[in-house]
Amino acid sequence: PPPSSHMQDSTTQVIQISRLSFLACGLLFLALASPALAWPEAFAWTLVIPFLVAAWVVRVRTVVGPDGVVARSTFSTTTIPWESLKGIRFPKRGWARATLTDDSEVPLPVVTFGRLPQLAEASGGRITDPYAAADDARAAEAAAAERSPAKDDTTSGTRDEVSEPDSDTETK
């Protein structure tokens, strides 16, 4: 179909929580329904929790496109133009953090190191993909190995012999 104003650019990547999480929300609702039905006065309010979790799953995302990065968390949305982005840091736990040119950090919801190829593709080369760089290096190495002549481990038959002094003779 022809592009229109309500369609996303083909290079735009939306990184979001898997929709399979709604299954967990349904299971949570079923788990909370039993106490809520047994004692409604005390536990009926807990039935709201699965809907809050589902709303969080729908809301939280990171959108990477030609204009920059949009980080949408639970209660805020931060737009980061490419000119303001200094780099991306991946902490041991949690989601990635965008480091800005003023050295402040903005969390990028749902972005993990495994999503780096998506980020690299959508950034148009502004973010490098270490997986692609490693693949390119392997391919270049394989191409160089095919172009170079095969080295034979056997010797040509000539050998420089080194004579060792006898134990009986002295060297001065």
Query: Which of 133-136's residues contact partners 24+ apart within 8 Å by CB, and which partners?
Result: none
Q: What would the mean pLDDT of 142-151 be, rounded to a whole number?
A: 78
- The position carrying tokens 């920059």 is 68
Three-point CA angle 67, 110, 125, nearest 5°: 40
- Tell me which of 4 and 117 has the higher pLDDT: 117
Orientation of helix 49-59 relative to helix 21-38, angle to 10°: 160
Does residue 102 register a pLDDT over 60? yes
Q: What would the mean pLDDT of 104-120 be, rounded to a whole number?
A: 94
Q: What would the mean pLDDT of 27-37 be, rounded to a whole number?
A: 97
- Highest mean pLDDT out of 43-47, 135-139, 160-164: 43-47
Does residue 170 register a pLDDT over 90? no
Q: What would the mean pLDDT of 46-61 be, rounded to a whole number?
A: 98
- Mean pLDDT of the residues in the chain: 85
- Tell me which of 70 and 171 has the higher pLDDT: 70
Beta strands in the chain (DSSP E): 13-16, 61-65, 68-72, 77-81, 85-89, 97-100, 105-107
Does residue 154 register a pLDDT over 90? no
Query: Biggest alpha carbon distance in the chain?
Result: 108
